[in-house]
Structure 1
Amino acid sequence: MDTGKNDISGWLVRRASWHLWAALGVVLGAAVLRTARVTSDGGMDNAIVVRAARTWLAGGSPYDDPHFLYLPSAVLAAAPQALLPVSVLRVLVPVAVSGCLLAGWACALRLYGVPLRSRCAVLGLLGSAACFAPFGHLLLLANWTATAALALPLALLLAGRGRWTAAGVVLGAAIALKPLLAPVALLFVFARRARALAALVLVPAVASAGAALLLPDPLGFVTRTLPFLLRGDDGFVRLYEASPAAVLPRLGVPQTVAEGIALLLCAAGVACAYLRWHGPGPDALRLAETAAGLMLSAFLVSRPSYDHYLLVVVPLLLAGVPYAGSVARTPWFWLALAPQLTGLSLPYLEPPQRRAFKDAFTLVTLAVTVARHNVRSRLLGAPATAVAGKVTMNGDPAF
């Protein structure tokens, strides 16, 4: 009788897992098809980079467009897209973006030792795709943040296995495409990995310098893009920025005071990340929570700073939920994400120009939550265990 019950239970579990994967396929497929249908070129942000590449191929400077905020190496990386028909890009780009997010989630799971075929794996991705608004925004915009969402967990996975130099190369390649992950260089400083840090710096430096020599305006990034980023004076872009330096002035706070608050929060976050790295706990948690603390600290002061930047950090933290000592087990983590639930309506914040206030709440709350958790982890330790290569919860197998 017991054997029969076990067989039935196993059959139900397998059936449930199959249905979850089928649901995930439907959600991702629908999101890709919707993006292909409503966009004419695969996504507005990707189109900016592709347009810059087309300008370069035509003999012009890609930095004539003030919204092209990438290093020169990104121009060469986008050149193959510039040669493709728009009808192909409409389908290829959303597929590539969703592929980056899927691969990044898989790397985050493997960092923690979570099986890729587990219910936790499929439920986490299904919940993100169906319920987390920045996921849909990133897919719709096709922003190159998707490359960072893949590169960061992949680099941490390599570092967790002792391959720090390879991790530096991966991060350097991602920075060459978009400089979003530059703050993670501090993790290599904390870990005293000089060779890996050199790889992280040299890869984008060499790639960008070589690409710049092929442009009609080799110093365009320095003379045009950097001043634009430092000033942050684009009135249209500012409406969608989530950093306190951009949001607080809209509430009447003087710009200088807002920037000072953002800098103080950033410095405190970096200090807490340093404490987390030198604290106890499994290597996976130390790597992920230190890197997340550094990235969130940077998002507090970076201009611009958008809601889809959260896709670099949130999946990395969410994948650690099987560990009893992870930040994803704290209620404040989920409270921070609540405003980003798809379909949740908040009074006065629904117009697109006001959603930055919701994004700022999520960013600041999540940054403070991770910083507080990093300090507590240093003081109290991380009570997670791993037995026979599988994550466990309170001594019982989680999967």
Structure 2
Amino acid sequence: MAPLSSSRSPWWSAATGDSSEALVKCMMWPVAVMLVIHRTVILAVNGARTDDFTGVYRAAVAFWNREPVYTAVYQHVDPHYLYPPSGSLLIAPFAVVEPESSRWLFIGVNAVAVLVAVYLVVRMFGFTARSAALPVVIGISFASESVINTLVFTNINGVILLGQIAFLVLLLARRDLWAGVAIGLTFAIKPILAPLLLLPLLRRQGKVLITAAAVPILLTALAWPWAADPWQFVVRTVPYLLQSRDYFNSSITGNGTYYGLPEPLVLLLRVGFAVLAAATMYLLYRYHRRDEVFFVVTGAGVLMTASFLLGSLGQMYYSMLLFPLLVSVVLPQSVMRNWPAWLAVYGFLSADEWYSGRWVEAGRYAEYMRPTLGWSFLLIVIFAVLLDRRLSSRRRDQARTVSVSRAS
């Protein structure tokens, strides 16, 4: 009688005797692929009420034709075009394609950027493309609010994420000038990653700053003569960027303004979390040489989380810039190996909506506040974990000293 099964499984299956990693890959690859297709081809192409692309496309066309770009009425709540002239130069090629195809191209560029960024993150932690880590991280990424809304709103955050990950990878490889180029290209669009420049300073990689500054300066120098109204960015857009709006803003100042909190209380919260972030970086600094990957990805997570809370604008889909910190859970010493950290992650990464027909006000509060509370709680958890490790290390050192003195 012929055997019921062969000892060698076909490529499309994972036999019971195979490793658990093979089983995870068998489960997660189809899920990850379908999530990517659904988010990119269905949800993103369908679009939503929030449309970040139309303003970008109009600006690209205006810049291409040497017409005024910075003409938005900032008192309206519609998405505004806020890129500097260097950003207008980089997005200008999208103007040569008709609007719908240009939007699809923009979605595709950002989806591919997220996929490449995820691959680089996985490689950063020592996993290969054949490992189960890749489909798992792809699946989680494309199930998150950050990636979904980046694609659906047709925002450029996917490209910013790729610039961030390239910067971290090159920083760890000590390719300082190229690391500066990677983050400098993101600065040419928007300076959201600026807090990460503290990392090369702490690691004594000052050459990063040369190209990080040179790239946006060079692109600005190229764009300025072509632009019709470059000074309007300085006199109109920059002041608006420095203000804290009270809509679609999950920063401390944004929620404080929306809920009418007293200004002294808002200031106290901002100062408190700034001190907490600084103390966390101080505790983290001891790892900057003995465990470089842990220091860089955790430091990047702390700096970006603090910037979301403390800046003038913090939007929930910025949370994709915390992906390296989340994947660091694979490291034995990771600060993410506890359930409170992942409760915080749920707050700012989940695509769930908490609006309630029965508890209207409570549901609205939960929906509006969950990214702010998630970022805040994550900073508190990271500080607590690092402080506990520092205190435990001191207690062990003291006990060792006492035992040696007694023995002598």
1:294 alignment partner AA: L
8 Å CA contact retained: 2:85, 2:223: yes
Q: Which has the larger radius of gyration?
A: 2
Residue of structure 2 aligned with 1:79, choices 73, 84, 92: 92
State how far apart, in whole Å, the 2-side matches of 1:11 and 1:188 are. Answer: 40
Residue of structure 1 aligned with 2:280, choices 272, 283, 297: 272
Residue of structure 1 aligned with 2:314, choices 289, 305, 309: 305
1:324 corresponding residue in structure 2: 332
State how far apart, in whole Å, the 2-side matches of 1:353 and 1:217 are. Answer: 41
Q: Report how far residue 38 of structure 1 moved.
A: 1.6
State how far apart, in whole Å, the 1-side matches of 2:34 and 2:314 are. Answer: 31
Which segments of 5 or more consecutive residues in structure 2 lack a partner in the other structure? Answer: 1-6, 10-14, 75-79, 394-408
8 Å CA contact retained: 1:243, 1:300: yes
Q: What is the TM-score normalised by the length of structure 2?
A: 0.82
1:79 alignment partner AA: A
1:30 paired with 2:38, answer yes
Q: Secondary structure at the match of 1:118?
A: coil
Taking a change above 3 Å as real, the CA distance of residues 89 and 351 of structure 1, as seen in their structure-2 partners, is farther
Q: Secondary structure at the match of 2:329?
A: coil
1:156-196 C-alpha deviation (Å, 9 max, x unpaired): 11111221221111111111122111111111221222211
1:300 alignment partner AA: L
| Identity of matched residues, % | 22
8 Å CA contact retained: 1:155, 1:167: yes
1:99-132 C-alpha deviation (Å, 9 max, x unpaired): 11111111111111122322222112212322x2
Superposed, which structure 2 residues align to 1:219-234 within 5 Å? 219-233=231-245
Taking a change above 3 Å as real, the CA distance of residues 374 and 207 of structure 1, as seen in their structure-2 partners, is farther
8 Å CA contact retained: 1:242, 1:306: yes
8 Å CA contact retained: 2:84, 2:188: yes
Taking a change above 3 Å as real, the CA distance of residues 374 and 225 of structure 1, as seen in their structure-2 partners, is farther
1:345 corresponding residue in structure 2: 354
Q: Which moved more, 1:200-209 or 1:341-350?
A: 341-350
State how far apart, in whole Å, the 2-side matches of 1:189 and 1:231 are. Answer: 28
Residue of structure 1 aligned with 2:169, choices 157, 164, 176: 157
State how far apart, in whole Å, the 1-side matches of 2:156 and 2:60 are. Answer: 14
8 Å CA contact retained: 2:52, 2:155: yes
Residue of structure 2 aligned with 1:108, choices 100, 104, 121: 121
Residue of structure 1 aligned with 2:134, choices 121, 140, 154: 121
State how far apart, in whole Å, the 2-side matches of 1:165 and 1:334 are. Answer: 35
8 Å CA contact retained: 2:353, 2:367: no
1:191 corresponding residue in structure 2: 203
Q: Report how far residue 373 of structure 1 moved.
A: 3.8
Q: What is the TM-score normalised by the length of structure 1?
A: 0.84
Q: Report how far residue 374 of structure 1 moved.
A: 4.6
Q: Report how far residue 251 of structure 1 moved.
A: 3.1
State how far apart, in whole Å, the 1-side matches of 2:60 and 2:189 are. Answer: 13
State how far apart, in whole Å, the 2-side matches of 1:380 and 1:163 are. Answer: 35
**Number of equivalent positions:** 372
Taking a change above 3 Å as real, the CA distance of residues 12 and 230 of structure 1, as seen in their structure-2 partners, is closer
State the structure with bigger RCO (CA 8 A, min sep 6), 1 or 2: 1
